[in-house]
Structure 1
């Protein structure tokens, strides 16, 4: 497992907590808080695009 620097958990309503992280190789990670040993990984650019799309409301239909 690479050395991942995790941000503090982001928690929505209820118990839906997620953590974002990055490593020195330029990869980005997202994991359910408490399950950081099983993250999804992609490039930082892909994670940035995901966050921008969520902020722009493109995922509101999933809520």
Structure 2
């Protein structure tokens, strides 16, 4: 696995914490805080698109 630079954890209501990270090759990672050894990985653009959709409320049915 590449060297991942993780952001500080983001914790929502109920202490559901996750972290976002990137590697030198431009991949983006998202993981449950404390489980960074098992992240989801995709391109940076894919992660930005996911965050935009969540903010717009178009992913509420997944939650």
TM-score (norm 1): 0.92
Instruction: Give the aligned partner of residue 55 of structure 1.
Output: 55
Task: Tell me how far apart the structure 1 counterparts of residues 42 and 55 of structure 2 sit (CA, whole Å).
Answer: 19
Runs of 4+ in structure 1 off by over 6 angstroms are none
Structure 1 gap segments, 5+ residues each:
none
The alignment's TM-score, normalised by the length of structure 2, stands at 0.92
- Structure 2's unaligned 5+ residue stretches are none
Number of the residue aligned with 1:2: 2
Q: Which has the higher helix share?
A: 2
CA drift of 1:53 comes to: 0.5
Deviations 1:2-61 (A, max 9, x none): 110101111111121000000010100000000001101000010010001011111223
SS at match of 2:36: coil
How many residues are matched? 63
